[in-house]
Structure 1
């Protein structure tokens, strides 16, 4: 292994490590935002909002690292796919962090209200969205292509959960003796939208893993879309057959 190849592999390991650090930071923010909502805890919510700056710093660091790696080593095939996917993945992670902040902000606004527990499906959706994120992180950490393919087909469930919650809210509001205040309903809907986005972004992360390993993009609930026929994107074994 020559000096440039050795440098490339070291940088790839470092890039992967920093992505996992960012995954951990985002996971903590998501968990704490959920606890703040469940307990009507404005102090915990404020801590989530404050921690967003460190997530943004990680995003910038990883962006710079990936771009520097591409400029200095000009990676191809699987290495190139990993670097490109890292640039995409960091956006998904940052957006999930933003949604955790959004939920924390809703927790502060809802601190004198009954909380999102008044709609049972919301707590379940939070658990599912958090589990989707955790699953995506495991898929990335373990480089699990099969699990990535399976997870890519889960977006319908996220949409169904959101629709079910909004329908439940509308039904509660339409009752003659409605016990759900409209302003609380609005906050709950905003939380639900954040959870849907978190779920979808988590699926994106799993799909990036599939692309890294297979050189194909997963779209439309797991169907395969053809990638441009170029050596840069091909798997190493495919490129070697030509």
Structure 2
């Protein structure tokens, strides 16, 4: 009983540290967005500095989870939670890194007065933040149904990114557009970071579903696509089916079945005989000799019978 209570205390502590890391990453993401909107290098520098604390939380949670596995040996849902926490911290740390990347773009654009990236990617930024907040809520409430709904929205992030990049390409090709190539580069980099944040948030939701239901949602759509898109096996050369090539031989010219596999000529030997006349003659003589020998044996057997 005491061991069970100790295990539950460790699990509560692990969950609390995960929620603290979620809050730290959420703040970094929000501040990075504000730095881009306000073109504020000071706020961007604060986001970059906060990444050290996020990395320290990742190391702390890793050590805590491994220690819990070694000493308490949890089972069932407790084991799934501990194992999943090791995966979840990776996604959280990567989201923090993408927030740092956005902050770095804000720092690089401080010499571009009046220019802001956010108006070009506002839709994606709002959606990425909502995805992260929903993932944290799903984890906090252990909402398996909400996690399942989130797992189906992964493609939307990619579609939004494609629309933004297409708009940028059209703007750069329009001579009347004031968009500069270096500005488009910053927008694309921020767009990539936001897409990764969205998809990492979906990963967190899938982890929650695994904790709650014990079923993994990873690669479900990919496996179905591979299964239904696999091409059929083409027929073998010469019109034979794969089964015929594997273990059957075609009928001979007279319509009778071919000889047994032990008596039939091997394909490579037949080809060699056709290409080499002398070899073909030797093969025919050998065959005639065998036939004559068989006839002599039959004659001898008949003589024996008559005797």
Same fold by TM-score greater than 0.5: yes
Return the structure number with greater relative CO, CA threshold 8 A, min gap 6: 1
| Partner residue in 2 for 1:125 | 124
The alignment of Structure 1 onto Structure 2 pairs a total of residues equal to: 222
Shift of 1:4: 1.7
Q: Are the aligned partners of 1:217 and 1:224 in contact in 2 as well (CA < 8 Å)?
A: no
State the distance in 1 between where 2:73 and 2:79 align: 8
Q: Structure 1: which 5+ runs fail to align?
A: 226-242
| Partner residue in 2 for 1:136 | 135
CA RMSD of aligned residues (A): 1.5
State the distance in 2 between where 1:166 and 1:199 align: 17
Q: Are the aligned partners of 2:118 and 2:125 in contact in 1 as well (CA < 8 Å)?
A: no
Correspondence 1:116 to 2:117: yes
| Partner residue in 2 for 1:146 | 145
- Between stretches 95-104 and 3-12, larger displacement belongs to 3-12
| Partner residue in 2 for 1:11 | 10
| Partner residue in 1 for 2:253 | none
Shift of 1:159: 0.4
State the distance in 2 between where 1:78 and 1:117 align: 41
| Partner residue in 2 for 1:50 | 49
| Partner residue in 1 for 2:189 | 190
Shift of 1:223: 8.9
- Between stretches 212-221 and 172-181, larger displacement belongs to 212-221
Q: What does the per-residue CA deviation read over 1:162-221, in whole Å, with 9 as the maximum and x for residues that have no partner?
A: 001000100000001231110110011000000000000000000000000111111346
Structure-to-structure mapping, 1:154-169, within 5 angstroms: 154-169=153-168
| Partner residue in 2 for 1:205 | 204
Q: Structure 2: which 5+ runs fail to align?
A: 225-307
State the distance in 2 between where 1:93 and 1:127 align: 18
**TM-score (norm: length of structure 2):** 0.70
Shift of 1:79: 0.5
Shift of 1:109: 0.6
Specify the SS of the correspondent of 2:152: coil
Q: What does the per-residue CA deviation read over 1:100-147, in whole Å, with 9 as the maximum and x for residues that have no partner?
A: 00000000011222111452xx01110110010000000000000000
- Seen in structure 2, the aligned counterparts of structure 1 residues 223 and 216 have a Cα distance that, compared at 3 Å, is farther
Q: What does the per-residue CA deviation read over 1:25-78, in whole Å, with 9 as the maximum and x for residues that have no partner?
A: 000000000000111110000000011000011101100000000000111110
State the distance in 2 between where 1:111 and 1:117 align: 14
Moved >6 Å (runs of 4+): 221-225
